[in-house]
Amino acid sequence: MDLEKRALKVLEGNKKEGYSPNLQRSYFYIAPDPIHHHQWFWDSCFHIIVMSQFRPEWAWRELASLLSVQQADGFIPHLIFWKWRILDFLPFFWWWKRERHPRIKFITAEIQPPVIGLALEAIHQADHKTADLFPILLKVEQYFNYLKKKRDPDRDGLISIITPMESGMDFAPQFDIPLDVIDHSPRRLKQKINRMLEVYHRLEWKLEEIFPLAIFDFEDVGFNTIHALSLEALGRIWKGVDAKKARGYEEEYQRVRDTIIEKMWDEEDGIFYGCYHREGKEIPVRIKTISSLLPITLDLPKRYVTRLIDHITDEEEFWLPYPIPSVAKNEKAFGPLTNTRRIWRGTTWINTNWFIAKGLLRHGEIELYQRLKRKTLDLIERFGFCEFYDPFDGHPGRAERNFSWSTLAVIL
């Protein structure tokens, strides 16, 4: 069976559709995999990007389900529980109880990387339904206004996340430091996160109480890069609708991009680092992860691109037999721990490869792009569409199989 057909089979297999007794409306979405059966924000955006090429109708419907739970202040949750399963009530799955929104039981109180601008552009390009687009653009605008108003407490143009899960890269080692896990033990990180969630739960997830505590106020490179990319994409979509708005988005994109360079670039290491807030100070976390490389997707001046490529192609860092690992090999915190669920500590993921591939294309690095694409497709050929892979031998270990966003490989 060709790759495209296999990808569609995975998406079809994870398709959920019906009426939600929880939220009392119809839903349609693709679950991440057969085990994680709820709707996740950035997973949905990736599915929409793939499906807009093969099943635009599904892409529109998944987007509609996602936007249907948007709150009055523009917030869209990282997770929607359309329907409970018995499994959700087993102790192992109880984490959702602490992350649950204080007023609406069927969504979480967190956000995830704002890939939604890119998702909207993908559907728009594949299937021009301009009449339907306007209300959606307004909803998405509200969402970005929410990020700007509520998630940038120091008003520097960079969005702060309040839990590692909001980065989409749950146990990535750049989060060890703000949580004082100096020995990089992923077990201790998990414990610290759990304790933090308990505090947030008690505070009913009120941002005005959470931010002043500065338990975890992190400006992540990946999250902010994706924010910039979405603003840029929205600017392109608005062009056909309202030129003034389009210019506004374009200018905002440039502002965010420039702030990422100004605040996150580390000249000595030649890479981008996120930072956390503690006692009124901003402290960079100098750990090289996949997040540090994501700004290659932006229109950066050449000298930054060259230095990022030096890291990508360095066999001691990111160019492993199956690139690109989520953490550089020569970092103390490098896992990759494929046989645990301590994710994002060195395994290779298809969604981040998709971003880096886009960046390489943007900067005309065709040869490296081709090499990365071949390696990525090789992983899929050998092991199928998995959640993550070992960067040395490709084995997925305890990764979920038939993982929906890994179908991005088909549109690399």
14 or 253: CB nearest ligand GLC: 14
Q: How many CB atoms lie within 10 A of CB 131?
A: 7
Judge whether 284 and 178 are in contact, CB under 8 Å: no
272: β partners: 265
Q: How many CB atoms lie within 10 A of CB 198?
A: 11
136 or 169: CB nearest ligand GLC: 169
221 or 305: CB nearest ligand GLC: 221
Using CB under 6 A, list all residues that contact ligand GLC.
Answer: 32, 36, 40, 42-43, 168-170, 343
99 or 365: CB nearest ligand GLC: 99
42 or 272: CB nearest ligand GLC: 42
Any idea what DSSP says for residue 317? T
50 or 237: CB nearest ligand GLC: 50
Residue closest to ligand GLC (Cβ): 32
Q: How far is the CB of 380 from ligand GLC (least distance, A)?
A: 17
- The gap between the terminal CA atoms of the chain, to the nearest Å, is 19
Q: How far is the CB of 291 from ligand GLC (least distance, A)?
A: 12
Q: How far is the CB of 79 from ligand GLC (least distance, A)?
A: 8
Q: How far apart are CA 76 and CA 114, in angstroms?
A: 10
Q: How far is the CB of 67 from ligand GLC (least distance, A)?
A: 18
Q: Which amino acid is at 241?
A: V
Q: The tokens of 20 are what?
A: 């939600």
Helix (H), strand (E) counts: the chain: 14, 9
Residue ranges of the alpha helices (H) in 15-165? 41-54, 56-67, 95-99, 116-126, 130-150
Q: How far is the CB of 43 from ligand GLC (least distance, A)?
A: 5
| CB within 8 Å of 382: residues ≥ 6 apart | 394
Q: How far is the CB of 186 from ligand GLC (least distance, A)?
A: 13
